[in-house]
Structure 1
Amino acid sequence: QAVSSFLNDNSSLDYAADDILIAGGARPLIYATFKALVDPSDNVLFPVPSWNNNHYCHLAEANQIFVETKAENNFMPTAAELKPHISTASLIALCSPLNPTGTAFTKDGLKEICELVIEENKKRGAGEKPLYILYDQIYWALTYGETKHYDPVSLFPELKDYTIFVDGLSKAFAGTGVRVGWAFGPRFIIDKMKSILGHVGAWAPKAEQVATAKYLSSQEVYQPYLTNFRIQLQQRLDAYYDGFISLKKEGFNVDAIAPQAAIYLTVKLNLIGKTTEEGKKLATTPDITKYILDDGKIALVPFSAFGASEDSVWYRLSVGTTSMPDIDGLISNLRNSLMKLS
């Protein structure tokens, strides 16, 4: 009931308590969504880079169909990229704001994808499985500047019958150790997911559920927290972004996409072909990753870890464990490492 009220208070989403499933974080909810909706050999469509969809396809014995997104679209999928695969898919797995990129759907971008789903479901016969959307919005409360969060059901209420949302406490409220997540969607699907997780044993601990319910019922507590948290995260993201753009202006082959949401910054380190002081040539993305870690003491995760091409030189930079006083020093370390290359 607390989650239902939280959704009503902070969005245009209206879901009764019986339409909501509480579990031990978002992961079991994503698993339950796949198991409830996807039969073996069904096609699941998702963009890359993205978080763990390939593994959930494996667990569900599904065929994964992925489209690799582009920097010019902030690594968010477009309707044009998804359209060729829509007719054979049972599920589209989307995430906004997106891990690993820290970017989000524009209103028009998401609308065009939703229109594809609506059109496809009108084509399917009464006995055919509809096309569903898994919409992971666990970072939705962390948007910055002019970025706004959009979701399929708010844009098109008729998609309420075909959309399963995944959300939770861990990201926006920095409660990674508090294992409370929630999914909401069509009641008959949520009921199936309850049955699956009942056998898996993935319920959130009762004490954490009670505490979360009390917290989410206290706007006077969580709203100031979220406001302050967003300010802190945006300061860190902006500082890293400014640092990378400064390095770019200095002539180094690096780049970054302006931060929009979540706790991540998308950065580019195109150092293929460079040679270290020790004479080692950086021939692959793993070579770059290791050099920046060993020499610059900076840990970045390549987009290839999230399903993108092995030769992608784009990375996820997380600000979750950094602080403002650290950032100038880390950018300086990176500059020194870049200067050593020839």
Structure 2
Amino acid sequence: MSQDVRDLKEFAAAPSEAAGRVSTMASGLVGSEILKIAADIRELVRGGVEVCNLTVGDFDPAQFPIPKALEQGIIQALASGHTNYPPSNGLLELRESVARFYARELGLGYTTDSVLIAGGGRPSIYAAYRALVNAGDVVAYPVPSWNNNHYCHMLGATSLPIVCGVESSFLPTREAVLAVLPKARLLCLNSPLNPTGTAFEKDALLGICEAIVEENHRRERAGERPLYLLFDHIYWMLTFDGVEHHTPPGLVPEMARWTVFVDGISKAFAATGVRVGWAVGPVDVITRMSSTLGHVGAWAPRAEQLATVAMLDDVAAIADYHANFKAGVIARLRRLYTGLQALREEGLAVDAISPMGAIYLTVRVHPFGKSTPNGKPLENNEDVRKYLLDAARVAVVPFQAFGTGDAGQGWFRLSVGAVSEQEIADALPRVAAALRALK
């Protein structure tokens, strides 16, 4: 039966800035800088302009499909009727599979009680913050890094950024961490790092872990709350050219008392939309994280969980998939890196850090003090970003989107997950021409 439709648009369009309409937290939450950049790209694409989009931390399935075994496993699980709620902490079969996976691939022996399944990595990060951090507690994290400033805002925590530079590959040193440890409740690290694609060397991470153990022994003697480490290594299977991935408990076993891992299939299997992630850590912390996510309902779908069980246990299938997948990622990163280094050798204002892992390349484009052909001065990263998009049809993300707060150094993240090698090859001459055209 049809009925009259009431026009409510006028009422629903209440002023967004009206006092008291949303919470203080929500009103102060800053939107994603990357999403704003995406709007610029969409406008160009709608106008028929082809853009080499190096902004998205995602994979184009046409370039990088998920493993066939994972796809078929999901289809079969759905066909078998696995469409109801999973347990809030994840299927036992998957938690067992993750424990086996960590033992086999990382040499880390955990029980299933240390494993929590969630709908990707983000719910695990949020749950760790919720389980460990009170309002006003200090959270230390390197900048650039991904989203820690926003999680701190949502919890009312006190942000303590550790500013990192190119001399340490944008990763914190032991000395830098030592300066913040006495103040912090939580230290957040990510390796390989989003946005830079750089990874901790063994001695650097070992030094940080030894400092955390020493700090926590001091706190135990003083009766103080411990310091925890949130270690996001969701890109750990994507390391290249002899780069070895290291974990805190793998280097210092006692770190298992205070380390919460964030991980999942999103990046290692190009399965960002499948939404299967996990946290691994101390049982008491994992239990409270599970309680938090149980109330939020942030679990991974049952069918996808079942398919992930089979995939993680299939060593040969993983090796076969990564043989092509990782080769495709590193080929794109190398093409981009070598092309930009050639421009640098030509004398243009570009540079790049050799890729170590993930799907990102750290690039510096710094023609500051010059002007575009139409006379606009290039004074900061945003000016350069817009110029590259307009003049070279290349989209990049400036480091200030990752908490640096410094818009004038010329550092950018370039992501290769959604482009082909040919798109990169075609884009490099356009970048060169755009930089040569500057006055």
| Range class of TM-score, shorter chain | over 0.9
Deviation of residue 219 (structure 1)?
1.4
1:302·1:312 contact (CA, 8 Å) conserved in 2? no
- 2:112 is matched with 17
Deviates more, 1:41-50 or 1:279-288: 279-288
Counting aligned pairs with the same residue, the percent is 48
Take 1:227 and 1:166, find their aligned partners in 2: how far apart are those partners?
Answer: 24
Take 1:125 and 1:211, find their aligned partners in 2: how far apart are those partners?
Answer: 43
- 2:251 is matched with 155
Matched, 1:263 2:359: yes
1:79·1:113 contact (CA, 8 Å) conserved in 2? yes
Equivalent residue in structure 1 for 2:435, among 320, 330, 338:
338
Matched, 1:234 2:330: yes
Residue type of the alignment partner of 1:313: G
- 1:198 is matched with 294
Larger Rg: 2
How many pairs align?
342
Q: How does 1:140-179 map to 2 (within 5 A)?
A: 140-179=236-275
Which structure exhibits the higher relative contact order, with contacts defined as CA atoms closer than 8 Å and separated by 6 or more residues? Answer: 2
Equivalent residue in structure 2 for 1:47, among 137, 142, 160:
142
Q: How does 1:73-222 map to 2 (within 5 A)?
A: 73-125=168-220, 127-222=223-318
Provide the secondary structure at the position in 2 that maps to 1:244. Answer: helix
Provide the secondary structure at the position in 1 that maps to 2:185. Answer: strand
Matched, 1:323 2:433: no
Q: How does 1:228-307 map to 2 (within 5 A)?
A: 228-307=324-403
Take 2:179 and 2:316, find their aligned partners in 1: how far apart are those partners?
Answer: 47
Equivalent residue in structure 2 for 1:71, among 166, 169, 192:
166
Deviation of residue 186 (structure 1)?
0.4
Take 1:281 and 1:55, find their aligned partners in 2: how far apart are those partners?
Answer: 32
Provide the secondary structure at the position in 2 that maps to 1:94. Answer: strand
Deviation of residue 183 (structure 1)?
0.2
Provide the secondary structure at the position in 2 that maps to 1:166. Answer: strand
Q: How does 1:309-320 map to 2 (within 5 A)?
A: 309-320=406-417
Equivalent residue in structure 2 for 1:27, among 111, 116, 122:
122
1:304·1:312 contact (CA, 8 Å) conserved in 2? no
Residue type of the alignment partner of 2:429: S
Deviation of residue 125 (structure 1)?
3.5
Take 1:157 and 1:56, find their aligned partners in 2: how far apart are those partners?
Answer: 28
Take 2:377 and 2:294, find their aligned partners in 1: how far apart are those partners?
Answer: 53
Deviation of residue 231 (structure 1)?
1.2
Deviates more, 1:273-282 or 1:123-132: 123-132
Deviation of residue 334 (structure 1)?
0.2
1:304·1:311 contact (CA, 8 Å) conserved in 2? no
Take 1:31 and 1:24, find their aligned partners in 2: how far apart are those partners?
Answer: 12
| Residue-by-residue CA offset, 1:271-310 (whole Å, 9 max, x unaligned) | 2111111111111211111000111111110011001122
- 2:47 is matched with none
2:381·2:411 contact (CA, 8 Å) conserved in 1? no
Residue type of the alignment partner of 2:360: Y
| Residue-by-residue CA offset, 1:121-150 (whole Å, 9 max, x unaligned) | 111136311011000000000000121101
| Residue-by-residue CA offset, 1:60-103 (whole Å, 9 max, x unaligned) | 21100001101011111111112111101001000000000000
Deviates more, 1:188-197 or 1:272-281: 272-281
Q: Which sections of structure 2, spanning at least 5 residues, go unmatched? A: 1-95
Residue type of the alignment partner of 2:334: D
Take 2:395 and 2:184, find their aligned partners in 1: how far apart are those partners?
Answer: 36
Take 2:129 and 2:322, find their aligned partners in 1: how far apart are those partners?
Answer: 31
* Runs of 4 or more consecutive aligned structure 1 residues displaced over 2 Å after TM superposition: none
Provide the secondary structure at the position in 2 that maps to 1:92. Answer: strand
2:380·2:409 contact (CA, 8 Å) conserved in 1? no
Q: Which sections of structure 1, spanning at least 5 residues, go unmatched? A: none
Take 1:227 and 1:196, find their aligned partners in 2: how far apart are those partners?
Answer: 38
Residue type of the alignment partner of 1:102: G
